[in-house]
Structure 1
Amino acid sequence: MRREDKKGEKIIGDFLQRHYYQGLINLENPQKPSYIKRIDRITDKKQQTNGIDVQIHLGYKSNPVLSKEVNIDEKTALYYPKGNMNKLSGINTFAFELKSEISYKGRGTDIGWLFSNNCTNYYLLNWVTIFIGKPNNMFNKRHLNWWNNNSIENGKIKIQEIESYLISKKKLISFITKIMNSNPKTARLYSKPKELNDFMKKNHKNNYNDFVYSINEETRLMLNNNLPEKPVNIIINKSQLGQLAVLKTISTIDSLTPRRIY
């Protein structure tokens, strides 16, 4: 994670802690054999680096002695919020990192966070809607660092709601593997970051400073040359991600329980 993003992720995490996780128990199916015993937000940096932002502890009605921990990694489209300005239209996609030039503990060289060998069980994908109290030229940008100028603290910007999809990492990887293998040119490149990077440089269409390659009509690869990690991401439509999600919700500022969406 880039240093300037850490504050934004902290703000998102605080909102979710109050307006998502606290009410998650209210959405549980009483017919399920398991139930939520406790939800912990992880502050240990080593665990965070290992793909754990939140840990949900499950109990089992049939056997109180049994327990299970579910590790959640929160991912947010920070730079693309919806908002009360024309420029802030949000996005209907999400980017998953396949290759990065910055190595992290637990990853092989150049492997992006999606295929890293960490402890993540589920991803919580988040799209944010914000309200800007006094819009000015400072906010008239497509890529808005809305969290980085003390506007949250002084009330100029407020998070109105967060739309969240909870998706199994295993299921997501299986889906992406199938998509990339369906195109002979991208088959198996998800596990070969160096070859993937070379492929993007040779087979792309320029989009400003980014290299883009379409796998199919709904999925594309993008090499971002503007960021220090120069990531190659796979971009997937929200509609496709919705079919993978085990839970889709909207958490609003005026409620402590998220609303399930279908």
Structure 2
Amino acid sequence: MDSEFAERLRAGEPLSAGWVSLGHPRVAELVALAGYDFVIVDLEHSPTSLETLDDIVRALELRGVPAVVRVPWNDAVELKRVLDIGVSGVMIPMVETAEAAEEAVDAMTYPPDGMRGVAGSRATNYGLDFAEYMEHADEDLVTILQIETVDGVENAGAISEVEGVDSLFVGPSDLSASLGVSGDWEDESVLGAIDDVLGESAVPVGSLAVTDEGVERWVEQGFDWVIAGVDSRSLLSASQSANEAFERAVERRDE
């Protein structure tokens, strides 16, 4: 956990996030070296296992970068297992109602206020720091909920007002699909829905950008934090650019 990170996120400070979908600790370490304020590790759309996540979190800790994990679903059992690894927070997909937000917060919180299971896990240094961790976990862990459907947009204000919700995240890919314009993040309906979330949210809001222009667009539109790049896309783009440079060089040589 990182109390300073939690405070900065909740305060709405401009923060940049890296994205790790390639399930290897060295990828996470490389992303951390880019200087991001925190890194999100994806478990929803990746084959990464909990065992691998364990090592990825260690790699991020080594570089002093908070690890937030996007879990596959709003599931108390899944959340419990990820939290026990010792992450700084979680991001939960497809939250559409205040009731679902309450369920997420409940799963993130220790009894008597919540239902998170108690164990001497890695998060507590295998029980050595059990009491200290339990004392601060509820306030130091961040809970980010994804708004990525029409219903989620309509209920964004109520979702954001649930006590324990620290931030919302607008997922442009799924939101555009929900609005019937899949993949078109520039469509007026998508941009209008984003403005609705930004206007209604009582907590900071983040989103994803995959280009430099996209980063600038979201910052100008009012997002508090932005995922500025995706590991797999960056690797593919750099590889394509290098190969294109080779092909151009060969063409010039053969002229």
Greater fraction of residues in strand: 1
Fold-level similarity (TM above 0.5): no
State the TM-score, normalized to the length of structure 2: 0.23
Greater fraction of residues in helix: 2
State the TM-score, normalized to the length of structure 1: 0.22
